[in-house]
Amino acid sequence: MKTIVLLLISLASFGQIVTPKSSVDKFFKDIMSIGTDEAITQAFASNKWMAQNQDAIKNLQDQMATLTPDTFGNFYGHEVVKEKKLGESYMMYIVMARFDRQPIRFTFEFYKPSAKWVLHGLAFDVKMEEEF
């Protein structure tokens, strides 16, 4: 009986397709549960080419480390404010992260070179007004 249960669990997880939106949601959940450094590392794990660009990942991790409760207050969640699509293989999500002090704009870029989406770029700033 254990074999059947394990097989069903394996098949269920195999059938799941990671979408750009689910990756964005996972990123913010990961920030809360495992911290910013590991959330960034895991987000870029989908892109094998980022392994060659560890300096950029480390730089982003250092910048994200400034988003502390002392500087921005509590984090209350995130909202997708804009979704852009170029063809069937490139997507961008603009996401507002809600903090006490002010909102932070995150820009996620996803690319699908063949069968699966990869995180192509991630940036953040405080320029939410540019989305109007």
Q: Tell me: the pLDDT tens digits for 22-72?
A: 999 999 999 999 988 999 988 888 888 877 778 888 989 999 888 888 899
Question: Residue 52 maps to which CATH number?
Answer: 3.10.450.630
Within-domain flag for 125: yes
Q: Which residues pair with 107 in a beta bridge?
A: 94, 123
Please give the single-letter amino acid code of residue 114.
S
* Domain-embedded: residue 79: yes
The pTM for the full model equals: 0.81
Domain membership of residue 56 (yes or no) is yes
* Alpha helices, DSSP H, located in the chain: 2-14, 20-34, 36-44, 54-64, 69-72
pLDDT tens digit sequence for 98-110? 999 999 999 999 9
* Contact predicate 89/96, CB 8 Å: no
Whole-number percent of the chain with pLDDT over 90: 58
Look at residue 6 and tell me if it is in a domain. Answer: no
How far is Cα 12 from Cα 7, in angstroms, rounded to an integer?
9
CA distances in angstroms from 48 to 65, 76, 117, 118, listed in the order given: 24, 32, 12, 9
**How many helices, marked H, and strands, marked E, lie in the chain?**
5, 4
Report CA-CA distances (Å) from 43 to 46, 55, 70, 122. 7, 15, 25, 9
Residue 24 is predicted with a pLDDT of: 96
Q: For residue 11, what pLDDT is reported?
A: 31
The count of domains in the chain is 1
Domain assignment present for 1: no
Query: What pLDDT score was predicted for residue 5?
Result: 36
The answer as to whether 5 is a domain residue is no
Q: What average pLDDT does the structure give for the chain?
A: 84
**φ, ψ (nearest 5 deg) of residue 113:** -70, -30
For 53, the domain range is 19-131
- pLDDT number for residue 55: 85
Query: Would you give the DSSP letter of residue 9?
Result: H
